[in-house]
Chain A
């Protein structure tokens, strides 16, 4: 990875407290002072928010503004840009600045309750800390002589189901309202009233519903904003903080895991300017209770002779698993379904187990609708790309003139991308174009241009757009395009033809790492094609085995079909929910049909219930690992909690492999990391990439759609998962759940007139009844529903995305 090119900037030299410092033009004095080691106290100032100059805590003396004249009054250093020759005296060297700061601090405290001993913020509070460093010890407002009367408010009030406001603690610095307006684009909180009664408020019946609401709690410089989840749960000085990486999407957002005596109490945003800056979604922040749920697996289990699962020792479980898998191997082979939430190290262990112990390429991480076209696309356009290797980065999104979204709704599916795009759009540099069936709330906040596209019509829409694209454009394609024949090929073709840059954005944290680690039927670790003899030899040599299976394997759909047909004898499955897969019923049938199933999971699931051997695995808090985010950037983390009984998948897989007589050669994350580093990426320079389709198994897909006759009530099904829905990793926090958007079916105005306020959709897998909501610019003949917000989700209960379903009014049904 190479460092981004340093931009040439004009430097301005200023003198701060007698020290000369050169900083880029337009730098604010408050930050220039940091360069000389002077911390000017501040509250409203935040480096990622526009300056406002409201709290006046950062006043400094400016005896020379750079033009030989000074300012007669102290200046707010958070709003004052440097000027050549400027002289600044902060509290360090100026009694005037020091008194001004002490005066503001004294005023800030007169109406503050000083309830630090019971306040969540106490111990990590900028007001508390700076009152100590830049304030007086005793109050003159309320002392023995003067009994000043503080303004009070009834406490607290709910800004949303999750965010609480204690108004009397608030110093109205406006960080929260500015965040909501400038960053998230959800300006549902605003200043109301005036003078000392000024407070943060919400409109009646319009709570602060934002996917990013938790950030305001973190940036609040006092204890005014707290979360229902964490309020009164702990003190900062009792917490241990460990850096981590969010496991809920493919953004790779930096987080901080705060835990006490082995329990995670809260998560905060980490600070990574290259990735998520200082923001995370509410899912990244609040969805962690799942790992501490009652159904967490803590010991291995094997199926007894009486048919029930019973606890087993690790060695016994290894033995039973190995014996069963050996038999299944003999009875046709074993398929491996890994799911999309693995660390790259665990994914590597699966990939190696399949090849060296199970002698198969029947491995696929895609526990969702997929296609062979997608596998080819991943092999030829995604694997091994990354920052410094031609990959699109967050920074590139900011500098791109145009960002085209296809099959991707960033606010729901990749929150950090959404925020970065919004930043870029607000700065005036980027136009976002989305090929989508309607203008989503997220797209509206990006000021995006909608290219109205029904599901399935993306290839044609992309081609029509190609004329507008050039090398300043970035094409972001979502994983949903896998099921649109020809869409990924069209994206690749257009990128090649126009010079636009292309990136694939999956939904899950482990997706990209699984590709790199070889959890695909056509790819070995490091992007080595199974079909390439040299690549196989390369890996075989590194692994010390004679040869690797040479035939490309079955993909997830193929594995399911083969299990149902009896062509495969067994299954190793980790973290797969059948309802996420292309055909949930078929996946369930496959698990039932499998002669032998080894399941690995964090919690008890219907899959572990049906397995013959179950291994508990560690959640991200209990193990080290690496996610590879959509950019291809490595996002390693270390274990936050010490839990010796909670082991990563790779340890369980190594144990099974040992019993199978095919050692994986590692037992710890560090050993896997060393081996992965040694193996390294496939050096493609010595080989032309064959396109399309390294596997050679797929023909160029046909884009012809089964365009169902517009029979009465026939509509095409558009769907994706909302950020907050029924996902199993969000379980355990009712407050977070209450902030999810209400599930509705979006219909055209015509359809609403025709079918009324409640509609029933019927597809080949069942029916779903939902309140209907009018969507003005929804493409005609399309209906949209959230993929996993009601029942068992769209795939299980309704139909496959992009297919035709029928819509009907559901009079009198309220479900």
Chain B
């Protein structure tokens, strides 16, 4: 069964001190660099385009095409910015990747920067994960010492400096233009587009912003060729991707597999749902993607498959909830998260999340009537597609999808006069004696 996995980025995670340069180099690390320097930057862009690599940060925009938007006749410096502000509830792939294999990211940064003719790259890491920041900093330091970074890298005449930047604790800074604001030292709020970052991004200069996993996928594409990468996955969603399974599964963790794998296959790998319980609902790509249920076990987890079933592949953050979980309570928790993280710039998200949280709290407490469900749907309709950025849109996904699939459960709260579930039963320690 494990032969469905395609460990590329995760391959060396189990090695002794996998994060060290020596370990990485022993296994052929930084070899792709010389292959890249032997190519012209445009050829690398072409190779990445041909590979079919699509952004691994959630939106799935073709990476090579993004690079080709950088106007090379612009006299300003070009920048590569790596979005490592992984903060989506349920998403847990970039952080373990940077912990387990930071050098693949650094090597990817070098090749990608070379391709877009950037001499300065930034890795913007979520501020809360100090251990990861330290690890990437150490990797960058090692790379400098080994001559992979700095002046005249590998005698190619190409110079690159990498800055590891720590965020300050805002979910919104995962939105690429808010990230740029934060990187420039300003308040993290999304920018008006156009101009798009490719034209006027960091310091109003042409900028490519890519997810950690996208950039980390580049060395293998350069080394093994576009065809190798394209052979994995499905027609329009090629390659490998890290699927992170969390929640009520026996073996939670990161499973690197070709896009198009199904949850049924992944659950098999992860040992199934928690003993004695059934799958109730799950998120395909983090909390901002509409929920799936056990009807969706065989949906191919690629961009088209998930979209076809009414959700989004997102960051392949598969949060598994079994039958002990109250969906209203779960949705309320997520909504409280969005309310807390709304940056405040636009009305629908700022005010809408405030209202949604109050409305869901009442429902979870068994107050209100069925009319409130329709009102909730209407509120979501007034937020979705009306907000300035995708944060507001994402906040509505769990609400609308949960009402779509679990309307009866909402109503049960009303008839029961409160939540019919025992929250203790869904905890990891359920069934064991816990004393203070």
Given known pairs A56-B387, A59-B386, the reply for A196 and B350 (CB within 8 Å) is yes
**Beyond A54-B346, A56-B347, A107-B347, is A145–B369 a contact (Cβ under 8 Å)?**
yes
Which chain B residues lie closer than 8 Å to A814 at the CB level?
none
- Kindly provide the distance from the CB of A52 to the nearest chain B CB, expressed in whole angstroms: 7
Expressed in whole angstroms, the minimum distance between the Cβ of A152 and any Cβ of chain B is: 12
A103 contacts partner chain B, Cβ-Cβ < 8 Å = yes
**CB–CB A56/B351 < 8 A:** no
Band of interface residues on A: 35 or more
By a CB distance below 8 angstroms, the chain A residues around B341 are 194-195
Q: Find out whether the CB atom of B386 lies under 8 angstroms from the CB atom of A111.
A: no
Q: Give Cα A110 to B379, complex, Å.
A: 12
Whether B348 contacts A103 by the Cβ 8 Å rule is yes
* B254 on interface, CB distance cutoff 8 Å: no
Q: Which residues of A contact B187 (CB under 8 A)?
A: 190-191
User: What residues on B are CB-neighbors of A55 within 8 Å?
Assistant: 346-347
Most buried by B among A99, A106, A190, A194: A194
Q: How far is the CA of A107 from the CA of B348 in the complex (A)?
A: 7
Q: Which of A51, A73, A111 lies in contact with B385, CB distance below 8 A?
A: A73
In the bound complex, do residue B358 and residue A148 qualify as a contact, i.e. CB atoms below 8 Å apart?
yes
| Complex CA–CA separation, A197 to B343 (angstroms) | 9
Q: Is A104 in contact with B368, judged by CB distance below 8 angstroms? A: no
**CB of B375 closer than 8 Å to a CB of A:** yes
Of the residues B340, B353, B368, B385, contact of A145 by C-beta under 8 Å: B368
Residues of A within 8 A of B172 (CB): 194
Which of A106, A146, A149, A172 is the one whose CB lies under 8 Å from B344? A172
Contact of B192 among A79, A108, A141, A191 (CB under 8 A): A79
A214 within 8 A of B: no
Q: Report the number of A-B residue pairs with Cβ-Cβ less than 8 Å.
A: 104
- In the complex, the chain B residue whose C-beta lies closest to that of A198 is B344
Q: Is B13 an interface residue (CB 8 A)?
A: no
Q: Is the interface of A mostly helix, strand, loop or mixed?
A: loop
Is B347 in contact with A100, judged by CB distance below 8 angstroms? no
Q: Mark A104-121, 1 if CB is under 8 A from B, else 0.
A: 101110110000000000
With A59-B386, A74-B385, A106-B382 given, is the CB distance from A196 to B368 under 8 Å? no
What CA separation (Å) do A678 and B342 show in the bound complex? 67
A195 to B337, CA, bound (A): 11
Q: Does B167 contact A (CB under 8 A)?
A: no
Q: Are A107 and B352 in contact (CB under 8 A)?
A: yes
A172 surroundings in chain B (CB, below 8 A): 344-345, 350
With beta carbons under 8 angstroms apart, the residue of A59, A145, A151, A195 that contacts B342 is A195
Contact assessment for B354 and A110 in the assembled complex, using a CB-CB cutoff below 8 Å: yes
Nearest CB in chain B: distance from A693 CB, A: 53
A193 nearest CB neighbor, chain B only:
B344
A56 to B379, CA, bound (A): 15
With beta carbons under 8 angstroms apart, the residue of B354, B387, B388 that contacts A196 is B354
Nearest chain B CB to A77 CB, angstrom units: 13
Instruction: Check if B53 is an interface residue, CB within 8 A of chain A.
Output: no
Does B339 have its Cβ within 8 Å of any Cβ on chain A?
Answer: yes
**What residue in chain A is nearest B187 (Cβ atoms)?**
A191
Given contacts A99-B382, A103-B382, A107-B382, contact A54 B345 (CB under 8 A): yes
Using a CB-CB cutoff of 8 Å, which residues 352-377 of chain B contact chain A?
352-355, 358-359, 362, 368-369, 371-372, 375
Given the known A-B contacts A53-B388, A59-B386, A194-B342, are A146 and B351 also in contact in the complex, defined by CB atoms under 8 Å?
Answer: no
Closest to A81 in B: B194
Q: Does B152 contact A (CB under 8 A)?
A: no
Task: Give residues of chain A (143-182) contacting chain B, Cβ–Cβ below 8 Å.
Answer: 145-146, 148-149, 151, 171-172
The answer for the CA separation of A483 and B385 in the assembled complex, in Å, is: 65
Contacting pair A146 B359 (CB below 8 A): yes
Residues 725-777 (chain A) with a chain B CB within 8 angstroms: none
CB-based contact B375/A195 at 8 Å: no
Task: Determine the residue in chain A with the shortest Cβ distance to B170.
Answer: A194
What's the Cα separation between A107 and B382 when bound, in Å? Answer: 9
How close is B21's CB to chain A, nearest CB, in angstroms?
39
Q: Is the CB of A197 within 8 A of B344?
A: yes
Residues of A within 8 A of B381 (CB): 99, 103
| Complex Cα–Cα for A108 and B350 (A) | 9
Q: What's the least CB distance linking B376 to chain A, in Å?
A: 11
Complex: A146 Cα to B358 Cα, angstroms: 9
Closest B residue by C-beta to A173: B347
User: A146 touching B368 by the CB < 8 A rule?
Assistant: yes
The B-contacting residues of A in range 360-415, CB under 8 angstroms, are: none
4 closest residue pairs by CB, A with B: A103-B382, A198-B344, A73-B385, A107-B351
Apart from A54-B345, A110-B354, A195-B341: 9 A-B pairs, beta carbons within 8 A? A51-B192, A56-B346, A73-B385, A99-B382, A194-B172, A195-B342, A195-B353, A196-B344, A198-B350
- Write 30 A-B pairs (CB below 8 A) sorted by A numbering: A51-B192, A52-B192, A54-B345, A56-B348, A56-B386, A59-B386, A100-B382, A103-B383, A103-B386, A107-B348, A107-B382, A108-B347, A110-B351, A111-B351, A141-B355, A145-B371, A146-B358, A146-B359, A146-B372, A148-B355, A172-B345, A190-B187, A191-B187, A191-B344, A195-B343, A195-B353, A196-B339, A196-B342, A196-B344, A198-B343
